Amino acid sequence: MAKILEIKFKGGRKAFYANPQEFPFVVGDMAVVQAENGEDLGRVVNMGPLVDKRAGDQELLEIIRKPIGKDLEHLKANQQLEKEAFDDCRKRIEEHGLDMKLVDVEYRFDRKKITFYFTSEHRVDFRNLVRDLAGRYKTRIELRQIGVRDEAKRIGGVGVCGHPLCCTTFLRDFEPVVTQLAKDQNLSLNPTKLSGNCGRLMCCLRFEGEFYKQVLDKFPPIGTKIKTDKGRGVVSRINVLDETAEIEYENGDKQLLTLNEISKLIKKKKRHKED
């Protein structure tokens, strides 16, 4: 049985938990775990040697039990309470005239804490709002300001590629994404085409960037002169996915060559120079 499990909670939050009682979990199972002075409930998303390695020697909270029927009913009730709390909080934000956008509400499984996630362009003095909410719900209240990327991660959705957002599936941390990455991939510098659901440059530009760099390094730079059977031309475009390059000749003709064909031409050119 796995002794360390990775558990995922609402909004994509993940953490490692010890399984000292060695409950028989499989990926996809729900688990009731320890939380600060209480309990929380999440879903098992990973286990095995890689999880053990990533968890390291850090001290871990423990899995308490596998949920039973009443736990799942409690979770369903919490989801309904979250919807009601969202509507209530949004009205209170308007009443207080606060410049903030409510994104999500998360009840901890044991209802000892409610977290309200919001975005704002500025710092917000929400002390009066917190007092309002604490008086209404009689439990610990936390208002947490997040960025627009975190907002997309919590809400989820589908990207322009047709797949679920990377930030909701496998990305763990947000890394800086710059326009140069789009240039390296020969993409049109159109902000609307390069932006994700969050309005920022798409994360895939970052984690796919290394692949593009590795492939591009195999080709001669754009503008390199190459002599082929058709005459002299220059490398005008590189297709990374197909690993082909477009050669443009002085008369305007174009030809696609594979990486292997270009490599042979370059080696042949070097041999001629050596001779």
Residue 175 lies in domain: 162-211
Say whether both 9 and 59 belong to one domain.
yes
Res 272 pLDDT > 70: no
Same-domain pairing of 108 and 86: yes
pLDDT higher than threshold 90 for residue 262: no
Dist. CA 52–CA 18, nearest whole Å:
10
Q: Report the pLDDT value the prediction gives residue 274, as an integer from 0 to 100.
A: 54
Distance set, CA 257 to CA 25, 71, 109, 120, 267 (Å): 52, 62, 59, 51, 15
Q: Is residue 258 part of a domain?
A: yes
Domain identity same for 176 and 196: yes
Query: Is residue 2 a contact partner of residue 19, using CB atoms and an 8 Å limit?
Result: yes
Give the model's pLDDT for residue 186: 77
Residues 61, 8: one domain? Answer: yes
Q: How many domains does the chain have?
A: 4
Q: Are residues 135 and 191 in the same domain?
A: no
| Residue 194, phi then psi, degrees to nearest 5 | -95, -10
pLDDT score at 60 = 95
Domain containing residue 243: CATH number: 2.30.30
- Angstrom distance (rounded) from CA 67 to CA 112: 18
Q: Is the dihedral of CA 165, 171, 177, 183 positive or negative?
A: negative
* Residue 203 domain flag: yes
Across the range 217-242, mean pLDDT stands at 87
Per-residue confidence band for 210, with pLDDT thresholds at 50, 70 and 90: confident
pLDDT value, residue 269? 64
* 42-82 confidence digits (pLDDT tens): 999 999 999 999 998 899 999 999 999 999 999 999 999 99
Q: In the chain, what percentage of residues exceed pLDDT 70?
A: 97
pLDDT surpasses 60 at 6: yes
Tally of CA atoms within 13 A in the half-sphere of 129 that contains its CB: 23
User: Which tops the pLDDT comparison, 275 or 209?
Assistant: 209
Residue 99 lies in a domain: yes
Q: Which residue has the higher pLDDT, 267 or 95?
A: 95
Residue 195 gets which letter from DSSP?
B
Query: Residue 270: its pLDDT value, please?
Result: 62
